[in-house]
Amino acid sequence: MDNTTPHEADLPDGASADPRRISRKGLLKAAIVVSAAPLLAGGGVALARDAASSGEGALLAPTPQCDDGDDTTPPQMEGPYFKPNSPRRTSLVTPSTPGVPLTVSGYVFGRACRPIPGALLDFWQADTNGSYDMAQYAFRGHQFSGADGAFSLTTIVPGLYPGRTRHIHVKAQAPGGRILTTQLYFPGEPRNNTDALFDPELLMNVRSVGNGRQGTFDFVLDVAQTPGPSDPPTDPPGGTWTPGTNYRAGDRVTYGGVAYRCRQAHRSMTGWEPPNVPALWERG
């Protein structure tokens, strides 16, 4: 077992009293290879569900697919820059921290694609110049997934250093479970083709927002779970959007072959289809 920040038993960061149900098929994500569009050139990387409907791009394997019997998030080497006992925090930056702002968010699931609350996530990365802080704990921090399995990290896009493409290190551990040590990667990076450690299954989905970037990734840990009787593997994420339905924040639906996530609770009605009301629904 790797060294890691000890798993604390207190309440998870961002825990909520009403956990959201996440359907297994709602996790089907993948990045497409856009060799001519490096991360800092603007424009995010399309999700597989978008590219599949438009016929654009070459699809990679799902990241991760999360279904009964599918592989969990693949591990990767720890590397020489890990330090135990990182501070507990969800932001690794201050308003004056140099670099391109980045948020990384997603969920932690077990093998049956049910959320894992209180999962430990310990992140570390290089600064904008490609250097790791080994004296203190800059760009290092751990947090716990919420009651719905969600996590969010505020940081910057890590810099490059010799031999590696851009990446973020992470250790993920379910309460009392084994530790997954892995790395997250950015789509469209030229060095992805030359980095011997790069794994396309560990690509985040990244898009440009203002002067920063937003990345998403869902971890699937090797934790046995029993699927809920109302959550069969073939169901779409939350079902197809229908009028006259009470939706809660966080609910996921499909409409026109595209997945959406509910921003705020409401009762749906004709004319409020997800693509028509961005205040209520966001793609993804």
Convert the pLDDT of each residue in 166-181 to its tens digit. 999 999 999 999 999 9
* 8 Å CB contact between 263 and 280: yes
3-class state of residue 183 by DSSP = strand
Averaged pLDDT, 20-25: 35
Looking at residue 245, its pLDDT comes to 86
Reading the block at residue 147, the tokens are 């009651």
> Cα(149)–Cα(140) distance, rounded to whole angstroms?
21
Q: What is the pLDDT of residues 123-167, one digit of tens each?
A: 999 999 999 999 999 999 999 999 989 999 999 999 999 999 999
CA geometry: angle at 156 spanning 150 and 161, to 5°? 120
Dump pLDDT digits (tens) for 26-62: 333 333 233 323 333 333 332 222 322 333 333 333 3
What percent of the chain shows pLDDT beyond 90? 50
| pTM (predicted TM-score) | 0.62
Measured distance CA(11)–CA(6) in Å, rounded = 14
- Average pLDDT score, the chain: 77
- Taking only Cα atoms into account, the Rg of the chain, rounded to an integer number of angstroms, comes to 19
Given its phi and psi angles, is residue 278 left (phi above 0), alpha (psi -120 to 50 degrees) or beta? alpha
Q: How many CA atoms lie within 13 A of 13 on its CB side?
A: 19
Residue 167: name the closest of 37, 98, 36, 79 by CA.
79
What was the pLDDT predicted at 94? 92
Nearby residues of 54 by Cβ (< 8 Å), 6 or more positions away: none
